[in-house]
Amino acid sequence: SEGIDLMGEKLIGAIIIGTGLPQIGTEREILRQYYDKKGVNGFDYAYRYPGMNKVLQSAGRVIRTQEDTGIILLLDERFAGKDYRNLFPAEWSDRGNCTLNTVEEQLGSFWNRIRKKN
């Protein structure tokens, strides 16, 4: 939720389903067409960047201080594509991919590594 800091162990993870793309609408389409005419990818400016901003804001709720530890799961295959990978913050360089078949194992592995550090 906006305006609430859940530090420490109050929020240890977030699952973000989808890329946060805004709904198609007249204003978004005008923006897309404007950037397309300028020779850049209008879809990025009208949809992908605003959507990714929402994703990053949601993910940012998990880690608020240097002492916070948590996991963020992005559930959408599009995040594995170059167009989205290039938008991830540099701090996410240790990210990994998981699937529905591996999510339980990956979550367990993450929390086991954290327990061993502490």
Q: What is the pLDDT of residues 58-113, one digit of tens each?
A: 888 887 778 778 889 898 999 999 999 999 999 888 888 888 888 888 889 888 98
Domain assignment of residue 18, yes or no:
yes
pLDDT at 38: 97
Domain assignment of residue 5, yes or no:
no
Alpha helices of 18-97 — where are they, by DSSP H? Answer: 26-37, 42-43, 49-59, 82-85
Domain assignment of residue 68, yes or no:
yes
Q: What is the mean pLDDT of residues 35-62?
A: 95
Domain assignment of residue 2, yes or no:
no
- Whichever domain contains 86, its CATH number is 3.40.50.300
Answer whether residue 37 shows pLDDT above 80.
yes
How many domains does the chain fold into? Answer: 1
The domain of 111 spans 13-117
Largest CA distance in the chain: 54
Domain assignment of residue 87, yes or no:
yes
Domain assignment of residue 43, yes or no:
yes
Domain assignment of residue 7, yes or no:
no
Domain assignment of residue 78, yes or no:
yes
Query: What is the band of 24 on the pLDDT scale with cuts at 50, 70, 90?
Result: very high
